[in-house]
Amino acid sequence: MDASRPRYTRAGGQKFITERRENKLLTKNGYAVAAVFVAMAAVGNQGAAAAAPKHQHPSGSNHRISVACNEAALVAAINSANNDGGGTIDLAARCNYVITTNHGGAEDGLPAITSPVVINGRDATIIRSSAAETQFRLIRVANTPNSFLSLNNTTIRNGSANAGGGILNDGRLETQNSTFYQNRATGDGGALHNTGIASIRNTVFQQNLSGFFGGGIENAVSGTLTVRGGAISGNQAVGGGGGVTNFGTADFTGTSISQNRAETGGGIFQSSANAKLTMRSGAVTRNIATGTAGGGIDNRDVTSTVQLISTEVSYNHANGRGVGGGINTDGPLTLDRSRIVYNTATGAGGGIRTTNTANITSTRITDNTAGNGGGIANENGNVNLTRSIVTANTPNNCIPAGSVPNCVG
């Protein structure tokens, strides 16, 4: 875990139960999202991906390696690229590179990336052997000035570490058209733990697990995370952020975050001074907070901000003592041209629970359900509605009565 960011203590000590799911990879072409926002963004992303040329080493090096379909060849290729100051590694098409032991640090399956390296997977899979006797992640991008990894058309599967079960990024990371599947961390970041700069494009995170924060992704205080397209689905965290935990700066466009589960922040959890979450043309849907707050999004620091633009938050649930079925926020919230619909909470705030300033513009908050405050539960906050609709929520639209101007019932 990142010692520089605040700790979060789980409440209640509830037993964590892992759902049984079909052992089936999620592909972006087979994934049906709930919102038209994501579908529209995906068309643009797919078109850009189709037109993109084969990825080259970023410095223009001619060092290029075609890798035979075996563990030793892949280890040798990474070592060669690092020693040469960078290079492009072309994996054997559709090969399963089964990693049986750690070839890098104590928890690193492959040698750490210390130079600019491009891996063109050609639909290959890098997988930790189920018979491996030690715990190790698949890839670590080291914290050195030249450390950079571009990972393309590759699946990262079955990694296991304390942080970043699939990849630990302490440098610079780019992924495109890739998949993180069934990785796990005993601590944070089931698939990806980012302390550096990570750019994620058209990538799927599915069925990853963390023992504390970020079932799919954890972005640390020092991290900058940019996600374009793709899906973060079916991941779980014992603590916070079934899909994503953000302690730094995170920016999503056209991404679907769905069917994730955690004790708090089923889809997304954020809790760090001045953390910033922005989502455009995305969907946060069908996530579950099992015990505390924020079925879709839980934002816990009074200085951390959430901004949603043209985004749908729908069919999320805050169970147990849960408040804020769609969104729970203690920090400033901005909604613009978005939809907060069909969320539920056993406590207050089926759509939104806020204790801070919420500026809501051209947004629809309807058909949400809670123990009280089906639409908005305003607890000593300042909610501003502009050209927005809050209606048809159960048992009422806003509480306390009169605390949200222009909200009736």
Report CA-CA distances (Å) from 293 to 70, 248, 255, 403.
46, 20, 22, 21
* pLDDT score at 189: 98
Extract the tokens encoding 194. 């980012």
pTM score of the predicted model: 0.87
Name the burial class of residue 237, with classes exposed (0-12), middle (13-18) and buried (19+) by CB atoms within 10 angstroms of its CB: buried
Q: Compute the chain's Rg from CA coordinates.
A: 21
- pLDDT string in tens for the chain (409-residue length): 444 433 333 333 333 323 323 333 333 333 333 433 444 344 344 443 333 344 455 544 568 999 999 999 999 999 999 999 999 999 999 999 999 999 998 899 999 999 999 999 999 999 999 999 899 999 999 999 999 999 999 999 999 999 999 999 999 999 999 999 999 999 999 999 999 999 999 999 999 999 999 999 999 999 999 999 999 999 999 999 999 999 999 999 999 999 999 999 999 999 999 999 999 999 999 999 999 999 999 999 999 999 999 999 999 999 988 999 999 999 999 999 999 999 999 999 999 999 999 999 999 999 999 999 999 999 999 999 999 999 999 999 999 999 999 998 7
Decide: 316 and 284 in contact? Cβ < 8 Å.
yes
- The enclosing H or E element of 73 equals helix 71-83
pLDDT at residue number 61:
56
CA–CA separation, 91 vs 110, rounded Å?
Answer: 14
44 to 28, 74, 107, 257, 318: CA distances (angstroms): 13, 33, 38, 18, 33
Rounded-to-integer distance, Cα 367 and Cα 378, Å: 18
